[in-house]
Structure formats: C-alpha cells, structure tokens
Copies of this chain bind each other. A is one copy, B any other.
Amino acid sequence: MTPRANTSKLRITLNTTRDREFLDSWAELEVIGATPAGGVERQAATAEDGQMREWFSQWLRDRGFTVEVDRVGNLFGLLEFHDGAPYVLVGSHLDSQPRGGRFDGAYGVLAGAVAADRVRRHAAESGVTPRYNIAVVDWFNEEGSRFKPSLMGSAVFTGAADLEDTLNIADHDGVTVREALTAIGSIGDRDVFGAGEGSRRLAAYAEIHIEQGRELEKDNVSIGLVDRTWAANKYELNVIGAQGHTGATAIDDRQDALLGASLIVVALRDIADEFGDELHTSCGQMTVLPNSPVVVPREVHMHLDLRSDNDELLAAADAALRKRIAEAEIRAKVKVEHRKAHVWPGHHYQPQGVELARTVADDLGVSSMLVQTRAGHDSTNMKEIVPSVMLFVPSVDGISHAEAEYTADEDLCTGVDLLTETLARMLDGALDSAAAERA
C-alpha cells in the first residue's frame, strides 16, 4: 500500500498529547489482573473482570457516557446526539484467557472508547454532530475459557444464542453465568438495544483487535482489513472407558479412555499435516477421570476445533476425523460420545466496510492489506445483523492467548487513529448502502 495524502475531514494531526491520552488510559487498564510474567488473567465474570468493568464504567462516565449492562452482562457506554437515531457500536471484550495476553480484546475496547470520545470532543468543539449516536461495548465472555462456548455475549445479543440457556451454563465449579455475573454486580434486567417500538437501534459495528497471526508483521503493514473469517467446527467429546489398575489389568482387558483421547489428539495433527496450511486442528482442553497415576482412566472430556477458510476442505477434514475417532474407539476399546458441537461457517465481512477502512487508511497515509481471521471475534456474530468493520493491528511473532503477546505503542496508536476516522465516517452514514442491501 502506498501512503497517500490525508484528506480526512476529522483528521487531527498525530501528536504526542493525543497518543498520550490513549496510552495513559491503557497503562491504567492493563494492570488489572496482571500476572507476574507480563500477561493478564481476567476470565469472564471473575473478580478481576468485575474490577475491570468498574474501572471502565468510571472511565466512560467521566467522559459523559451513560453506562448500561444488558441481561447477559454486555456493558455499553452510550452517547446520544439525536433522540431516536440509530447507534454505531464500537468495541470488543475485556475478558482474557487464563494467563492470557494484555492486548487480546482489551485493546479493542479501549481503542473504541477513545475513538468514540474523540468524536464526542470534536463534535463539542466544532458544533457539528454526527448523524448517528455512538455506543461503546465490552462484550461478555468472548474467550469462552471459564464458560463455554466463546463469543457468548455477542451471540445472545444477535440472537444466535438463547438468553436463558446461556445464563444457566455452569463453569467447572458449577457456578452459572447468572450467578457469576450477579456476584460481580454486572447483570442488567433489560435489553439495551432491541427491535421493539422505542428501543435503541443499531446502524453498524466496528471492532479493532491484535492480529493473532504474522501476516501484517511479515509484510510490515500497519492495518489489517479483515474481509473473511475462517469457518470453525468445535466439538466436545466424552471418551468413555472403564477404570482399572494400571499394574494388574491386562493390556487386552483395558478400556483406556486416555489412550482413546490421545489417539484423537494425534489424529488431529495427522489430519492437519495431510490437509496443509488451509486447515488448523487443535485440542486445547482435556480432563482425565479419575486422574490417578495407578488407575487406567475411565473417562476423558475433550474439546477439539477444526478451522479452515475453505468449507469443502473443512468438511473433508471433519470426515477424516470421524473415521479416525472410530478407529480410536476400536483400538482403545472405548466409546466416544459427541456431547456438543458449535459450527461457525466461514463468512465474508460486508465489502463496503472493508472498502471504507481501506479508504480511511489510504487517506491517513497508513499502510493496509486484506487479511482473514482464523480466530473468532464478536464481529463474527455482529456482521450477521449489521454492516461491520473488523480491523487488525500487528502482533509481534503472532503470539496470542499467551503472556508474551505484544503490540508496539506506535501500532496501538495508529490503530486508534484509524478506528477514530472509520467510526466518524460510519457515524455520518458511510455504511448506509451496506445496511440498505441487508434490508
């Protein structure tokens, strides 16, 4: 991408003061739930997540936003310019993986909030208000580590998941979403947006995130314009064997649930090797029962995922996996139960959103390129109901879901600038044509 001259109407020349505002807030935010090794641990609706939500709510109120929380714990900061006008929503998630990185999610929420605040100040100073109202969001439980599945808050928001079912999902200790949100005082009794008469309505959505990959870094590009998501098949399996003594039980008599599970983990990698770069396969979670050194395991719970940008290839990989699971059942003398499956098809983001962000990048003289996302994001859900823009900033070595995750200050600040200008243009109706296509 060739840098171009700045033709933005809102563009305020990059300066230290403006970057400093973002970085100072970032410095306050990133210590909440910080771990000794430089990461964070703020799993959904834990005390640390609650502490973060209080800090963020205060940040919003200090700048004139109204704070509301919906029935599944999505936290909104609202700024109304025109009574009854639709809102452009911007945000991401403040929860993290266990021993996760500082940037995943939290960067997008603060970047969105700072972008919204810049628009607010520009409107106050210029006397020219945007056509749409602004809302900032912290989606509940994007990560899905404590409560499964991931993308929980945005899924309920868009109607992809049921509210009551979701509130009754329990964590490993039997605590439900409802109980955990109540414990941190972060659950509302009504929707913040809706379809009914007099409800707040949405016009569009924007989100910025670290890349969680190496494409931008490799090509030395500042902004990724996400045009596609990878499809993801996620499975929860129970491998059922029979408990026995590791010393006394003859090998032929064993029904070894851990052997069955291990054969499946190895099969996942074999299939990835066979299908090539277009396929990612993983098993991230495995729980062994009874998990005693001298007991042949009776049961293993495991979570698998298969992801690809190619739906046909994903279907072929899925079939290959099922064949290998059947073979594992025979060799380990176990039964594999398919407990749950979440299937996210691959999807395109609205091309008008991609084009808008590309134009903004060109106007700001910022390099950009098309990228795909292999990870799921809340925008994956949101693009199904409103035109949505998804932006990436570079992440060093592509490290993610790990404490070593890192993005340079300069890249963070460039992302905030780009998001600000994109948001400003969305607030003036830049994606109305995409919305009209949907209607």
Contact = CB atoms under 8 A, between A and B. Distances in A.
Contact of A293 (B144, B273, B288): B144
Contacts of A285: 288, 291-293
Contacts of A399: 244
Given A248-B375, A259-B269, A265-B259, A293 B243 contact: no
Nearest to A148: B293
A305 B232 contact: no
- Give the bracket for the number of chain A residues in contact with chain B: 35 or more
Interface stretch (A61-69, A128-136, A181-189, A275-283): A275-283
Interface in A288-302: 288, 290-298
A98 B245 CA distance: 12
A290 B284 CA distance: 8
A230 B244 contact: no
A243 B248 CA distance: 37
Contacts of A212: 245, 247-249
A284 B246 contact: yes
Interface string A344-380: 0000000000000000000000000000011110000
Residue with the highest number of chain B CB atoms closer than 10 Å, among A265, A284, A332 = A284
Contacts of A71: none
A58 B247 CA distance: 34
Contact of A296 (B248, B251, B262, B284): B284
13 contacts: A98-B292, A143-B294, A214-B250, A244-B399, A244-B400, A247-B373, A248-B374, A258-B283, A258-B286, A259-B265, A262-B265, A284-B294, A285-B291
- Please provide the 8 A-B residue pairs with the shortest distance between their CB atoms, ordered closest to farther: A212-B248, A246-B282, A293-B303, A262-B265, A262-B262, A243-B402, A247-B375, A145-B292
Given A98-B295, A246-B284, A295-B401, 18 more contacts: A143-B294, A144-B293, A145-B293, A145-B294, A212-B245, A212-B249, A214-B253, A245-B374, A246-B280, A248-B398, A251-B280, A253-B398, A258-B284, A259-B269, A262-B266, A263-B266, A284-B296, A294-B375
